Amino acid sequence: MKRRNTHSLIALLFGVLALTLGALLTFDAGTASAQDSATSANGIEPIFVAGNPTCQDLGYLFGFKANSPSEQAPNGTFNLPNTVGGTVTVSVSGFEITWSSNIGIDAVMVKGSDGNLYIYDPPAEALGDSGLQPPLNNGGQQAAISHVLFCYDGGGVVSDGSIAITKTASAADVCNGSSVTFTVVVTNTSTNSNWTGLVRTRSKALSPPTWCSLQVRPKRFPTLMP
């Protein structure tokens, strides 16, 4: 009777051990699956970044933190500072973001408790991507999005880059030894206020035109015939 109870106890212990190992394996598989799914639609695998660095801390020239209104997942179109007309549009669906921009973006970091950094340049700047998400939290669960960092090196777009150029002279007629000043004006006819006009002047002595020389010729009279 005692031997039978011992066998039952051993079987029970093996059963508990099997259930425990199964749960651990299931948790590890779920964690790996969640981490693998962080690859963006462009095929960019994120780099885990701890803490709360800025784009400048990461080695980029400029950066913009998109969140609305504060430490919340951003949705909408935002102006990018240090650019000429640069904007970025962000939309959030669950734990993932989709973004697009009219200027090239070097990297995007999606922040939860920590950050997933998606690096586009190198090899090349990107104008959009989807499926970006923050890393898992310490409990192995998907963290909620707090904000998104866009890192870039400036640049910009001009919706209307037309200009008008005029050239005028200080005198209409110039004779030998005189000079004339040409004024060249480059005027911005674009609606973009980041462009400015340009005025330059220069002087140059010109050769006299033929009408400046006075030529006296003898007057000829017809011969009178008797």
Per-residue confidence of the chain (226 residues) as pLDDT tens digits? 444 455 554 554 445 444 444 444 333 333 333 344 689 999 999 999 999 999 999 999 999 999 866 666 788 999 999 888 899 999 999 899 999 999 999 999 999 889 999 999 999 999 999 999 999 988 888 888 989 999 999 776 655 556 677 777 777 766 666 677 777 777 766 665 555 444 444 444 444 454 555 444 555 555 555 5
Which letter does DSSP use for residue 104 in this model?
Answer: E
Q: Which tokens sit at 95?
A: 């734990």
Q: For residue 11, tell me if it sits in a domain.
A: no
Q: Are residues 139 and 196 in the same domain?
A: no
| Residue 65, burial from CB neighbour count under 10 angstroms (0-12, 13-18, 19+) | middle
Residues 76 and 115 in one domain: yes
Please state, in angstroms and rounded to a whole number, the distance separating the CA atoms of residues 213 and 226.
40
Residue 27 located in a structural domain: no
Picking from 102, 101, 100, 99, the residue whose alpha carbon sits closest to that of residue 110 is 99
Does residue 49 sit in the same domain as residue 131? yes
The per-residue pLDDT for 29 is 35
User: Is residue 24 assigned to a domain?
Assistant: no
Q: Which two three-digit tokens encode residue 192?
A: 């973009």
> What pLDDT was estimated at residue 156?
65
Say if 130 falls within a structural domain.
yes
**What are the tokens at 210?**
């033929």
Based on the domain organization, do 67 and 95 belong to the same domain? yes
Give domain status of residue 70, yes or no: yes
46 and 108 inside one domain: yes
Domain boundaries, position 148:
37-152
List the structure tokens of 30. 């779920």
At 215 the pLDDT is 47
pLDDT for position 218? 53
Grouping H, G, I as helix, E, B as strand and the rest as coil, residue 176 is coil
For residues 90 and 177, membership in a common domain is answered with no
For residue 132, what are its two tokens? 């970006």
Residue of 151, 1, 181 lying closest to 86 (CA atoms): 151
187, 147: one domain: no
pLDDT of residue 139: 83
- In this predicted model, what pLDDT tens digit does every residue of 132-180 receive, in sequence order? 999 998 888 888 898 999 999 977 665 555 667 777 777 776 666 667 7
**Torsions phi, psi of 133, nearest 5?**
-150, 160
- Alpha carbon 225 to its chain centroid, in Å, reads 95
Does residue 22 fall inside a structural domain?
no
In this structure, are strands 126-132 and 147-152 parallel, antiparallel, or unpaired? unpaired
The answer on 118 and 194 residing in a single domain is no
Measured distance between the N- and C-terminal CA atoms of the chain, rounded to whole angstroms: 175
User: Based on the domain organization, do 78 and 178 belong to the same domain?
Assistant: no
Q: Does residue 89 sit in the same domain as residue 178?
A: no
Judge if 46 and 106 occupy the same domain. yes
Q: How far lies 179's CA from each of 173, 199, 209, in Å?
A: 10, 20, 13
Look at residue 15 in the predicted model and tell me its pLDDT: 52
Q: Domains in the chain: how many in total?
A: 2
Residue 15 lies in a domain: no
3-state secondary structure of 127: strand
If asked whether residues 79 and 174 sit together in one domain, one would say no
Closest CA to 81 of 159, 191, 160, 156: 156
Q: What pTM was computed for the model? A: 0.57
Domain-located, residue 20: no
What pLDDT is attached to residue 10?
Answer: 52
